[in-house]
Chain A
């Protein structure tokens, strides 16, 4: 049955994600969820969804998608990327209504390595262990526990949206401060003072070894004080472990639940989301802050998120082009040209 969004071209690594799978880490199930939870929440707010509604998460490149319901309202968040509908472009952070048979395309992402497509009402897909988050390594959640493929049809909860004005959020979501803020610990005592100094005073480059599990950084070595093996313990989001190669690895959404390398510091929760937008080649530096500062930063971020509905403004109505008509016009002119 044609009842939602049909994936025409999936992109590089497109998965269904929400705010993560909570309560199963003690069974070894990673939390997963959006790399950029702020992005996901902003996208949901723009289409009027609850903050944790599942969205499509794109990495590096978006999908080409066909609408197979009477109408749907979508919004993209991800740097300055845009939704292409025929010759029209709908910028990020703006909602748009699409009708049955229309195709839209999200090309290479610009200004962020991840993007989120929210759909009004969300997807009608059964959650696994309480969440829609996809954890590909163990095949849990999302669509059959895997990245999306061409031909997948994702059912929608709402197949016909109300005719109201589309909106946009004029200001972008908060980015990273000049230095990524961390709280030292839990195992900062496993590093020499020189090691901690190197970590806090150097610039690190994100390597190609960068995925939903974590990002491996390259830069000056961080010296251990008493070896690099600890008895495995739990891992918080944003924890930065330093294995034997003395380079830091920031652990992200798909991190394993336990690990045996000392963790020098943990990225504060307000900075984990914007950090998730960066990819290979990006340079980052760290700054140690207190827990009080971390709390204050998080509260400020939450206030910004809560204020989104009041900051949405009416979007210049994008009259989405009737794609079917466009397509047939192109075909005809193409054929004519071919015989010229």
Chain B
């Protein structure tokens, strides 16, 4: 591939007169992602007048600005300045352990995933819950974390027939990613299970539990434990705490 996979010199991309994008590479890669987040934090700290918000994604940072307050050229100069000596620090975010009830009604695709990967359902659960995932970015839905990297043995394409309704809390996989449907939504990924954890609350600030750069590991729980935790979540008496 001619694309620059590893982070070399980042490049600036223009998206109209209200957004400037700093692209660090063209791959899903922890090093590139860490650089994006490092610049994101610097941009936030710099409080540049005219910058409305910055949106970190897998491999680039979109900086939305008010062109009446700051000109494109000036913003670019400010960003170049902030990029000097930029070092992406991996595993810099918070660490979470998220309970996950695999299979059954909560994970309708577990058996099929096992079948297609040549593993037993138990092996799929073990493989999926044995890894610390990096939250690369939040997107698709409010609070929806794109996490990776999935163990190679679990990599599958998206489902051929997307579901019109995926239950809130469903944990899904596709390609090298795993994610959590924070709201009920249509979805094309394979559903392994469901978490009762409160990941999205519009009354909270921030409204999303997870942020880009966080580390997530799933703890398998039983269906009974799921019900017990879900009751606590619904009653609002369960606050997720990041692991030390």
Cβ contacts under 8 Å, A330 to chain B:
none
Tell me the minimal C-beta distance from A59 to chain B in angstroms. Answer: 22
Of all chain A residues, the one with the shortest Cβ separation from B13 is A186
B204-234 contact mask (Cβ, 8 Å, vs A): 1 or 0: 0111100110000000000000000000000
Q: Is B48 an interface residue (CB 8 A)?
A: no
Cα(A140)–Cα(B143), bound, Å: 13
Q: Which of A201-260 contact B (CB under 8 A)?
A: 230-239, 256-258
Tell me the minimal C-beta distance from B184 to chain A in angstroms. Answer: 10
Query: Beyond A28-B140, A185-B13, is A231–B27 a contact (Cβ under 8 Å)?
Result: yes
Contact indicator A230/B26 (Cβ below 8 Å): yes
Cα(A138)–Cα(B182), bound, Å: 10
Which of A25, A128, A183, A294 is the one whose CB lies under 8 Å from B55? A25
Q: Is B21 an interface residue (CB 8 A)?
A: yes
Contact indicator A129/B202 (Cβ below 8 Å): yes
Contact indicator A138/B16 (Cβ below 8 Å): no
Tell me the minimal C-beta distance from A131 to chain B in angstroms. Answer: 11
Cβ contacts under 8 Å, B140 to chain A:
28, 256, 258
Which of B14, B28, B60 is the one whose CB lies under 8 Å from A291? B14
B34-55 contact mask (Cβ, 8 Å, vs A): 1 or 0: 0000001000000000001111
Cβ contacts under 8 Å, B182 to chain A:
28
Tell me the minimal C-beta distance from B222 to chain A in angstroms. Answer: 30
Q: Is B19 an interface residue (CB 8 A)?
A: yes
Contact indicator A268/B16 (Cβ below 8 Å): yes
Contact indicator A186/B67 (Cβ below 8 Å): no
Q: Which of B142-201 contact A (CB under 8 A)?
A: 142-144, 146, 182-183
Cβ contacts under 8 Å, B205 to chain A:
129
Which of B13, B137, B143 is the one whose CB lies under 8 Å from A258? B137
Contact indicator A27/B143 (Cβ below 8 Å): yes
Tell me the minimal C-beta distance from A61 to chain B in angstroms. Answer: 27
Contact indicator A231/B28 (Cβ below 8 Å): yes
Of all chain A residues, the one with the shortest Cβ separation from B27 is A231
Contact indicator A27/B183 (Cβ below 8 Å): no
Query: Beyond A236-B64, A291-B14, A299-B68, is A231–B26 a contact (Cβ under 8 Å)?
Result: yes
Query: Beyond A128-B202, A186-B13, is A257–B55 a contact (Cβ under 8 Å)?
Result: yes
Q: Is B105 an interface residue (CB 8 A)?
A: no
Contact indicator B183/A138 (Cβ below 8 Å): yes
Tell me the minimal C-beta distance from A224 to chain B in angstroms. Answer: 14
A7-42 contact mask (Cβ, 8 Å, vs B): 1 or 0: 000000000000000111111110000000000000
Contact indicator B206/A187 (Cβ below 8 Å): no
Contact indicator A186/B57 (Cβ below 8 Å): no
Of all chain B residues, the one with the shortest Cβ separation from A145 is B202
Cβ contacts under 8 Å, A102 to chain B:
none
Contact indicator A27/B206 (Cβ below 8 Å): yes
A282-302 contact mask (Cβ, 8 Å, vs B): 1 or 0: 000000000100110011001
Cα(A260)–Cα(B78), bound, Å: 28
Query: Beyond A230-B26, A236-B19, A266-B19, is A26–B212 a contact (Cβ under 8 Å)?
Result: yes
Tell me the minimal C-beta distance from B225 to chain A in angstroms. Answer: 28
Cβ contacts under 8 Å, A22 to chain B:
52-53
Cβ contacts under 8 Å, B122 to chain A:
none
Contact indicator B55/A302 (Cβ below 8 Å): no
Tell me the minimal C-beta distance from B104 to chain A in angstroms. Answer: 27
Contact indicator B68/A233 (Cβ below 8 Å): no
Tell me the minimal C-beta distance from A199 to chain B in angstroms. Answer: 15
Tell me the minimal C-beta distance from A163 to chain B in angstroms. Answer: 36
Q: Is B118 an interface residue (CB 8 A)?
A: no
Tell me the minimal C-beta distance from B134 to chain A in angstroms. Answer: 15
Contact indicator B53/A140 (Cβ below 8 Å): no
Q: Is A49 an interface residue (CB 8 A)?
A: no
Q: Is B58 an interface residue (CB 8 A)?
A: yes
Cα(A302)–Cα(B66), bound, Å: 12
Of all chain B residues, the one with the shortest Cβ separation from A20 is B52
Tell me the minimal C-beta distance from A127 to chain B in angstroms. Answer: 11
Q: Is B141 an interface residue (CB 8 A)?
A: yes
Contact indicator A27/B137 (Cβ below 8 Å): no
Q: Is B23 an interface residue (CB 8 A)?
A: yes
Which of A139, A234, A294 is the one whose CB lies under 8 Å from B16? A294
Q: Is A269 an interface residue (CB 8 A)?
A: yes
Q: Is A93 an interface residue (CB 8 A)?
A: no
Query: Beyond A256-B139, A269-B67, is A24–B58 a contact (Cβ under 8 Å)?
Result: no
Q: Contacts A185-B15, A234-B55, A268-B17 given; 5 further ones with Cβ under 8 A?
A: A26-B53, A27-B138, A27-B211, A232-B146, A291-B14
Q: List 14 A-B contacts (CB under 8 A).
A: A26-B40, A27-B138, A28-B143, A185-B13, A186-B14, A186-B21, A231-B26, A232-B57, A233-B23, A234-B57, A236-B16, A236-B18, A298-B17, A299-B68
3 shortest A-B CB distances, which residue pairs? Answer: A234-B62, A266-B16, A258-B139
